[in-house]
Structure 1
Amino acid sequence: MRTGLRVFCFLAGLPASALPAAAADWKPVEKIVTYAISGRTGIELYRSIGENGPKIGVGRAIAYTDFDLKWSRNYVPERGGCTLAAARPHLIITYRLPKPKGTLPPETRPRWKRFIDGIEKHERVHGALIVELVEKIEAVSVGLRTENDPKCRKIRVELTEKLAALSQEQRRMSREFDQVEMSQGGNVQQLVLALVNGG
């Protein structure tokens, strides 16, 4: 079982008026969505995660983070070329986490809290990497210009190429983070052992 990152990245431009190009004048919307698990002990809860956790690839995950990213872009044809004058992101990050049904016994409650707090902290690192990706996209987008492009076609192709490279970098960083966290003796394994064994 593993934690995971699933991303849905929609990079199509939306109609936009002339928006200010200032960075950091936007904030992501962050949501927590839970899936139900059952059990009264740590091992029962973990087994239920294994049975009910979200499917990612060939296995199931404890939790995962996904995002929906859209852009409002203002392409300005001028002097025979095209300039991307403004690009404002609309970002929703969703963290999917397990939640026990009902009230846990007093002896299980603190172990569960430690576990789920640690898992949420792990997923929020993925969220921070997504925000970093969007900030990098914003930085390479605003002010981008192509010559001999009065219909603003070439600039879209060039932008798509830049965004693809940034997206690949973000995915690499997320994978590397997961590899460390979920390695033998890593943070996620320690959280699981503490939940199951009460350590």
Structure 2
Amino acid sequence: MTDRERMLQLLDEFQNTIVKIMDERDTLQNESEEVRAGRREAEEKAWAAESKLDQLNEEVSSLKTQVKEAEASKTGEVDKIRQERDEFKKELDEISQQLTRVSELYREASAEKKALAEKVDVSDLLAIYITLIETVFYGKPHARILYTLHDVKTAITRKNIASGSGIMPAVVRKAVYDLASANLVKVDEESDEVTLTKDILRRG
């Protein structure tokens, strides 16, 4: 083989090598682009997941706050109901004590009447009894509600009774129920209005 032929052969081999290297370079570039695209996609997914996680954390925090507020509100309502219950029980105890005292006064008056053998007019005894009731029980819910209904001479809602008398709504409900059971008032459950059924005081 002559030098020229050898040179041509080397040039062909060199050319083939260059072509092969360029092909490999193109392949590597394509693979590199795919890797970069895959990495960008992975980063975007990671960012989306992180954003979703932040959103979920905010929602969880908001729900925790709502739960705490609901628990605090529930605790406040329970405390208020307990306070109303305790005050109502205290008031009932006071009424019981005062009823006992009125009974004692009546027995004492009856005994004194028999001892002195005095004739007492029935209307006088009734006037004394009414005076005692008005004096002892005027500040109590049952009497105050009856006085209110006598004054307005028309139906009035339990809400207005509570706001006008200063009596707690729970106490008003119980007192109105007691008065209705005694047929002294009637209640319209639809309108929540209370109407006096008997003019006890018989005012003009």
Q: TM-score, normalised by structure 2?
A: 0.28
Which structure has greater strand proportion?
1
Higher Rg of the two aligned structures: 2
Which structure has greater helix proportion?
2
